[in-house]
């Protein structure tokens, strides 16, 4: 069995030490380095690469997601595992887009963490079950029943479609060659017709997330 070299980026001393002891004491694992800040990791890891980096998100100074984004091209053979308490959708997807290969919550049992490191090293992308559910759920968008949207004009549907893709009012106006004021008037009409009170409610109804 090949030894898996691991680095830890974690600002809390107690957690960093516990992870170091756990990994260093397990057969087939070596805790090669541990850092309290993203900046320290950025300075050292490119010259001393490891197989796996366990990365916290809530670090002082640069956060863990930005650290992964910068380290990824500098350490192309290294796999990055987010090991964090945060399970918000936005952070999960931002971390994966930045180059994280795995996302494990800190509340995971020690043996589960070691199993996840081994799986990642073998080519998998282990995720805590709640994180995996978020990712799977993100691919499902049940279409709204057509009758619910029949009340909208074609222009209102165009605007709502762009809002569902994250466009700002100005971006919608620019793309459809209308003024922001006109966009706001259309949005007000959309709210009235769909009987909603916010952009989130309107978009959710458009995407069928009722």
pLDDT tens track for 132-171 = 887 777 766 555 555 678 899 999 999 999 998 888 899 9
Residue 210's pLDDT is 43
pLDDT for position 26: 94
Q: For 48-82, write each residue's pLDDT tens digit.
A: 999 999 999 999 999 999 999 999 999 999 999 99
Classified as helix, coil or strand, 31 is: strand
> What are the pLDDT digits (tens) for 3-52?
999 999 999 999 999 999 999 999 999 999 999 999 999 999 999 999 99
**Mean pLDDT estimate for the chain:** 90
Three-point CA angle 90, 174, 184, nearest 5°: 75
| Residue 27: how many other CB atoms lie within 10 Å | 7
Residue 173 has pLDDT above 60, yes or no: yes
Judge contact between 55 and 7, C-beta under 8 A.
Answer: no
Q: Which of 20, 192, 43 is nearest to 113 (CA)?
A: 20
Would you state the pLDDT for residue 141?
A: 56
Domains identified in the chain and CATH numbers? 4-138 (3.40.50.2300), 146-207 (1.10.10.10)
Quick check: 128 and 108 in contact, CB under 8 A?
Answer: yes
Report CA-CA distances (Å) from 208 to 146, 148, 153: 10, 10, 18
Which tops the pLDDT comparison, 89 or 138? 89
The predicted model scores a pTM of 0.65
């Amino acid at each position: 069995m090949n030894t898996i070299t691991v680095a830890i980026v974690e600002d809390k001393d107690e957690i960093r030490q516990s992870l170091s002891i756990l990994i260093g004491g397990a057969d087939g694992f070596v805790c090669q380095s541990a850092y309290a800040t993203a900046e320290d990791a950025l300075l050292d890891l490119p010259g001393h690469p490891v197989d796996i980096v366990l990365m916290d998100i809530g670090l002082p100074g640069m956060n863990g997601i930005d650290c992964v984004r910068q380290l990824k091209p500098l350490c192309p053979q290294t796999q990055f595992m987010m090991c964090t308490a945060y399970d918000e959708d936005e952070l999960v997807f931002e971390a994966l887009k930045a180059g994280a290969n795995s996302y494990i919550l800190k509340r995971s049992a020690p043996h589960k963490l070691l199993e996840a490191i081994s799986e990642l090293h073998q080519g998998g992308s282990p995720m805590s079950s709640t994180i995996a559910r978020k990712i799977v759920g993100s691919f499902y968008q049940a279409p709204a029943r057509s009758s619910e949207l029949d009340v909208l004009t074609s222009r209102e549907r165009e605007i709502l479609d762009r809002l569902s893709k994250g466009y700002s009012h100005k971006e919608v106006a620019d793309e459809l060659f209308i003024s922001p004021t006109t966009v706001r008037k259309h949005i007000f009409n959309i709210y009235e017709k769909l009987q909603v009170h916010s952009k989130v409610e309107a978009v959710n109804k458009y995407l069928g997330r009722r």
